[in-house]
Amino acid sequence: MTKGNTDVIRKISSHLKANPKAKVILLVGAGISTSCGIPDFRSPKTGLYHNLSKLNLPFAEAVFDIEFFEDNPKPFYLLAKELYPGNFKPSKFHYLMRLFQDEGRLQRIYTQNIDTLEREAGTKEEYVIEAHGSFASNHCIDCDKQFPMEYFKTKIESSLDINSKKFEFAKCDKCGGLVKPNIVFFGEDLPVKFFETWDNDLKWMGSAKGSDTLVIVAGTSLAVYPFASLPTEIPKKVTRSLVNLETVGDFKTNPRNSDLVYCGDIDEAATILATELGWENKLDKFIEEGEEEGEHVEIADVLDDLKNLKIKAPLKEQTKIPSKEKLGKASPLEKDDIESLVDLTKSLQIEEQKKE
């Protein structure tokens, strides 16, 4: 196993140059978007959940909990306003993935991110599988009726203050239920499209020549299931590569002799790979064009907004404690985080009861 240096990136490039028909499958996570200013949900102290935990939410990820949303959609609306597509710019790695598409070398991108920066960078919908959903469409949480992107977007873009009596949440015209973006919340299933496409891509990998395929796993801690199990399912004849700050998941627990592991900065890896493949100028051009558009949004702004919300924490209700099973179902959290959050929620509840 090769590890920790730019030789690994050169090996990825050599594989692609030696096999002109080879196509790439990318499995990506929050690490490819941190350089865009989007906080990694799990990082201690700087992570989104850590910041949310300072607020009066009953538990940090209540903002992504379907039952909490039903009772109080305000925190999610505020967060969605900031995380909404268009507020952030793609990273070098996002543009590199776009280049794989433009050069006819892309089979698929599987992303755990909900920031839609893959689309923003110009990758076509047919190539992108958003495993945890996205803002691109909406549904009614009661009857499941589907609504176009605009249906929720107009609410987010409304000039009305969310605390104003005149503000109306997006509601279903059929049953009156709340309408929310198709982002996978705790307690919701992953999109069927994710499972179906992965099955098809597995078949493709199984039937293609090993040299005509390559998997690049990037910017993920490989701790969230079922996504974390994808690298284990890759046929042995297919070369797996990891571009990440550290060795994780199956690359750590079940390494294969053919694995290519690069530990380091992800955007730097994108630059080296683009240079090796002769795509450097194209990558620079995308970044220049991206910088000419709009401004970045600071995540601190949304946290201030959230602090100003007066949220009644329903700590006394047993039902509000998320079970480990429920959180684990489609959770963007690591297992340890889930357990500590459940413990934290329980201890908060005990304190609350003592006060009475």
Query: Which residues make up each annotated binding site?
Result: 30-34, 40-42, 112-115, 140, 143, 172, 175, 220-221, 244-246
- Check residue 146 for interaction with Zn ion (CB under 5 A): no
Strands 23-28 and 146-148: unpaired
Helix 280-291 × helix 92-102 angle, to 10°: 120
Number of residues that bind Zn ion (CB under 5 A): 8
Which of residues 52, 140, 178, 283 is near Zn ion by CB under 5 A? 140
Instruction: Count CB atoms within 10 A of the CB of residue 178.
Output: 18
User: Of 87, 106, 80, 102, which is closest to residue 26 (Cα–Cα)?
Assistant: 106
Site for Zn ion (CB under 5 A): which residue of 174, 209, 252, 316? 174
Sign of torsion, CA 186 192 194 199?
A: positive
Query: 3-state DSSP call for residue 161?
Result: coil
CA distances to 93, 167, 168, 295, 298 from 159, rounded to whole Å, are 34, 9, 12, 19, 19
CB of 145 to Zn ion, least distance (A): 5
- SS3 of the chain: helix, strand, coil, percent, to 5: 45, 15, 40
* 324 interacts with Zn ion by CB under 5 A: no
Position 143 contacts Zn ion (CB under 5 A) = yes
Active-site residue (options: 15, 50, 94, 132): 132
Catalytic-residue membership of 132: yes
Amino acid at 348: L
In the complex, least distance from residue 174 CB atom to Zn ion, rounded to whole angstroms: 5
Within 175-204, the residues that bind Zn ion by CB under 5 A are 175, 177
Closest approach of Zn ion to the CB of residue 70, in Å: 13
User: Which residues define the annotated binding site for Zn(2+)?
Assistant: 140, 143, 172, 175
The smaller minimum CB distance to Zn ion, of residues 135 and 151, is found at 151
Part in contact with Zn ion (CB under 5 A); list of ranges 55-63, 132-140, 188-196, 219-227: 132-140
122 sits near Zn ion (criterion: CB under 5 A): no
Q: Which part of the chain contacts Zn ion (CB under 5 A), choosing from 87-95, 138-146, 275-283, 323-331?
A: 138-146
Annotated binding site for NAD(+): 30-34, 40-42, 112-115, 220-221, 244-246
92, with CB counted inside 10 A (0-12, 13-18, 19+), is buried
- Does the footprint of Zn ion cover residue 142 (CB under 5 A)? yes
The yes or no reply on residue 172 touching Zn ion (CB under 5 A) is yes
- Residue 189 per-residue DSSP state: P
**92, 37, 119: which is closest to 285 by C-alpha?**
92
What phi-psi label fits residue 340: left (phi over 0), alpha (psi between -120 and 50 degrees) or beta?
A: alpha
Determine, following the binding rule CB under 5 A, whether residue 344 of this chain makes contact with Zn ion: no
Cβ proximity to Zn ion: between 141 and 248 the closer is 141
Applying CB under 5 A, the residues found at the interface with Zn ion are: 140, 142-143, 145, 172, 174-175, 177
Q: Which residues are catalytic?
A: 132
